[in-house]
Structure 1
Amino acid sequence: MVKSITFCKELGFDNKSILKNPILLRANPNTLDQYYTVMKEGGFNNITAEVLAKFRTLCRKEIITLKKAHLIDPQTDVAESFISHLNPRPENFYVRTEGDSESWSSVHLQVLTEYLKWRLQATDADVAKLIKIHPGICRKSFRYLCENIATAQDLGFTPEKMLKYGYILHNYPKYTKTVLAKYPEIAGASMRKAMRMYPKLVNVSPSNIEKIYNILKKHNISDEAIQKRMNVFHMSPQTVELRLEELKRVEDLKVLFHNPNILKLVVHHNRAKSRLSYLKQLQLKCAGVSVLGNDDSKFNMHVKEGRDSNTSSDTFAFLKGIFNEDTDRFETNFKKHPYYLQVSLVSMEETYNYLISENYSSAAILNVIYILLYPKEKIQNNFKQVDLFETRSNKVLTQTNRLNLVLYFIEKEHHFTGDGIWTKSESLEEGS
């Protein structure tokens, strides 16, 4: 509302006239700007607060009626007035109309149609389809339309893409120009390239870009993750905040925050939640970003095959995150365990947090990284044997040695096959 009032005052409207036309307070200032500009282009003079507030009604009236009401000068050719604001304008560009007996909006539409046919090599059917999907373009300022086309061309959009993604033409040009000037790069990614990949970004306000980036950094989302999902910026800041908060409340999703593809689960949040719920119904415990964020065909194949395993990329993204170490430090060693992909990330994190709470250093855990594959309860139970061994041998074991000894005692029961990772219930399921 404050921005709308500010805009109205910039047009010279006083407080009294603004308050007499409350629709101006409810309207988006960008919309008011578009309406005011296109009215000027179409011959309206002395646009008062009352006239601007009645834009939707007045634009449907016959031009002769508007002239009689002294809103448009009698000698004004509305079609020519619109055409004078086209840039570039084809030579001898002429639009045949019925003159002042036509409605103002009808003349606008005819000029718009003919111009788009020329500028974008479009057919009548192309323009009709565009208007059906994006009816707001029928009220578009021609100056702003031409600016949008020029910016889109500069970004590398073809006429076909402009027609396909009509919001490129319908957007508020000041936003696009300001974003490109203020944020040529964000999170290390080129905004121009991002706009080409995700055309909806041309519609995003500079303030929303800043708000969303700050929200992402507040939640410790890395620039690498942001670069992979720049379409997160065409969501509302409130939605991004709410979805990140919800991810943190769900154990199976919170554990994925280290993943560079985590924003897949923000952009496709409802789909990810639905898939997670379905996997739980099937009693499949491993649910990484690769599963929750995949396309439907890959997800359906995963379920059909009954795979209860992580992908290498999800597993090592998780480990890289908790240890804050490059995967070269542990990947080869970790892959030697026969079941390194079969343990849920939630279980691994639970074991890691338990060991940290028992004052084991992250470095010691990394030295015995297999330990993360084993259930916390088994580790707790076998620490008793380690304590007994330490007492009997009269030796003080290092943290690394203690963890190695825990693994030894667990796996000894399973003949060192790696089966020690399973809980009792999981072992029964495996054998059934």
Structure 2
Amino acid sequence: MLRQVYFSSMIIKIIRFSQVFNTFGRRFCSGFTSCEDEKARDNKFIEMYMKYLDLNAEQAKKFLSGYTSLWGQNADYTEIEKTLKYLRTNKFSNYDVIEHPTCLFINPATYENRDMVFKECLFQNVKLSFYIRYVSIMNKNLAVLKAYQYVHPSSDVVNNLRKQLDIPVKLEKELADTLSLNEIRREIMNKYLKERLHMTDDEIVRARKIYTHMKHRNLRGMVETVNILIDELNFSKERITKNSYLLHARAENIKAILIEIPKIAEMDIKEVVHARPKILMQNCETLKSIIQHVRNFNIPDEAIIKCHEILTLSSDTVYSRLCELHKVKEFSVMFNNPRILRLIHYQTKAKTRLEYLKQLKMRCFSLNLLSGPTETFEKYAYIGGDKTKGKEIIEFFSNTFKIEQKIVREMLHLHPHWVQVPVLSINNTMYFFRYKGFSKEDMLQNFLLLLYPISKIQPKLDALFEWKSESDDNRKISDVEVKTLSNSKLLSLCLYFIESEYHFTGNAIFEINKFDNKNDPSMIPDLPKSLIEKKYRFGTKESQKVAHVNVE
């Protein structure tokens, strides 16, 4: 018995020590720079709580001592500040906040929704603790809530809930006080969805199962949202039913989006959200922030139209991925591509695919290949043809030299292997020529030379420069003195000398022998699981079996 007590006390001490270490010990394990950063962050949080809760430094530290989630590494300063502002604006006392610190984990939008639900259910003397205990309160019988005086005993809650709707609903059964508020609200909400959107019982059950927060939606807000979707955005009832998450969209936020972001490029915002309804679930300020991030990276708004899915990501995610584009050289070369934002939306998948292609020693890839359907990528990787459709190459030349894509395509078709050249190689060759002092006009006049790797160009070009610098007047090519040749003519000669070694077949563009690029079937690595398993928010869909070369 004594041994059990001893070990129990030791376990308790270890747990307490680990809690203290998690809070403070990390500072002594991270180095001085990390310690200074954490101290600055802690001071920032302390100052915020002093400001909004009227505390001095000691009181703020005492308030935070038991709640590291309100100021630690995982605490979101911006979100907590928004909640503090909301509580102060709505005149909740500082004493209540200090007594119930967990109230700071609830965001302002949730407070507003719960406040509306309490009003619709005729609650009286609503306290801050009600918002924290919202779920348990809504699960209580109405009779119990009336007994506790949360709701006045004579209040007709059912009738008041029906008044929130803009259409008359006839209930099939009487909703007695023995039912919980959740059950009462569910019956009225279901009846409204049947009458207004013609949803079936199965569709309602499915929507509630997938979008569990729907049961907490205030009725007035849902009605306003449905009316905006149908009357202003021209959503059909079937479309709303199919995208039931829209029932949880905030009407005020939708109105703000329509007013503050009327257009993206030349496309009406109504057309944009009609094509991608999920955008309506995004906060208006977040959408404006995403658009601004894109503009700050000198990407035109037209790129957003070509990939409006980017508007469903968080603002911080978009910014970090835009920065990441410059760090991955294969991505940075596509920066002026009109569909570049697809690499933002599908960046994780694109990076995984890029690494896999490198394992296969394949250098040619397109933006669509890295971000497109899994089946297309599997087929490309399995067949092993290291070439693209050439769209990225055409767009790259068109954007660089400011000439029409049709003209670029006609010029590229003069070379038999132009689709087998990586855009990154073309970009490197251009930088090489600029470093050597050649102008864009010189490069444009020798357009096809840009398809060749530097390893093939440099030896020939160095020899030509050496001949040109010689004082020997006898150094001639076709009776023309080399030293009199222009830069453009030098590049033309460079191309001639390169291809002469390959009998003018065009094979000189390959940096390595094309036969060396073939993989032994037994050495082909399996596709990463992240590429063959398509994940969904509410489950995993079994992907089709990946094609492999099986060697017995």
Normalising by the smaller structure, the TM-score range is over 0.9
What is the CA–CA distance in structure 2 between the aligned matches of 1:191 and 1:205, rounded to whole Å?
14
Corresponding residue to 2:458 among 380, 386, 411: 380
**Residue in 2 that maps onto 1:423:** 511
Matched AA of 1:25: L
Q: How does 1:17-416 map to 2 (within 5 A)?
A: 17-87=96-166, 89-90=167-168, 93-94=170-171, 96-153=173-230, 154-390=232-468, 391=470, 392=475, 393=481, 395-416=483-504
- What amino acid sits opposite 1:352 in the alignment? M
Higher RCO, Cα 8 Å, sep 6+: 1
Q: What are the Cα deviations for residues 40-98 of structure 1, in whole angstroms up to 9, with x where unaligned?
A: 011112222222232122111111111122211111121111111112x12x6336344
Q: Which AA in structure 2 matches 1:219?
A: F
Residue segments in structure 1 that go unaligned for 5+ positions in a row: none
Q: Do 1:265 and 1:289's aligned partners in 2 also have CA atoms closer than 8 Å?
A: yes
Q: What's the offset of the Cα at 1:134?
A: 0.7
Q: What TM-score comes out, normalization by structure 2 length?
A: 0.74
> Which sits farther off after the overlay, 58-67 or 415-424?
415-424
Give the TM-score normalised by structure 1: 0.94
CA contact (8 A) 1:259 1:314 kept: yes
Does the C-alpha gap of structure 1 residues 396 and 427 become closer, same or farther in structure 2, counting only changes over 3 Å? farther
The Cα shift of 1:141 comes to: 0.7
Of the structure 1 ranges 182-191 and 367-376, higher mean CA displacement relative to structure 2 is found in 182-191
Alpha-carbon distance change, 397 to 224 in structure 1, aligned in 2, over 3 angstroms: farther
CA shift for structure 1 position 332 = 1.4
Deviation at 1:424, TM superposition (A): 4.6
* Aligned counterparts of 1:424 and 1:14: Cα–Cα separation in 2: 73
* Structure ID, larger Rg: 2
2:158 touches 2:175 (CA, 8 Å); kept in 1?
Answer: no
Letter in 2 for 1:170: H
**Would the aligned equivalents of 1:78 and 1:107 in 2 still touch at CA under 8 Å?**
no
**What is the Cα deviation at residue 394 of structure 1?**
5.4
Hey, what's the Cα distance between the residues in 2 that align with 1:287 and 1:103?
Answer: 59
Q: Percent identity?
A: 28
> Mind listing any 5+ residue stretches in structure 2 that lack a counterpart?
1-79, 476-480, 521-552
Write the deviation string for residues 254-311 of structure 1: whole angstroms up to 9, x where unpaired.
2121221122221122221222122112211101102112212222222233221122
Shift of 1:427: 6.6
Q: Is the 8 A contact 2:264 2:302 kept in 1?
A: no
Whole-angstrom CA distance in 2 between matches of 1:214 and 1:196: 22
Distance 1:40 1:95 in 2: 25
- Please tell me whether the aligned partners of residues 253 and 283 of structure 2 are also in contact (alpha carbons under 8 angstroms): yes
Q: CA deviation at 1:9?
A: 3.0
| CA displacement, residues 342-388 of structure 1 (integer Å, 9 cap, x when unaligned) | 11111111111111111211221122111111111221100133225
1:16 paired residue among 95, 98, 121? 95
Name the SS for the 2:483 alignment partner: coil
How big is each residue's C-alpha offset from its partner over 1:139-162, in whole Å with a ceiling of 9 and x where there is no partner? 111111011111211312222221
Question: 3-state SS of the aligned residue for 2:420?
Answer: coil
**Cα 1:424–1:230 shift into 2, 3 Å:** closer
- Amino acid of the residue matched to residue 132 of structure 1? K
Distance (whole Å) between structure 2 residues aligned to residue 394 and residue 3 of structure 1? 72
Letter in 2 for 1:228: K
**67-76 vs 343-352, greater mean Cα deviation:** 67-76
- C-alpha contact 2:398 2:408 (8 A) present in aligned 1: no
Deviation larger for 198-207 or 215-224: 215-224
Conservation of the 8 A alpha-carbon contact between 2:460 and 2:497: yes
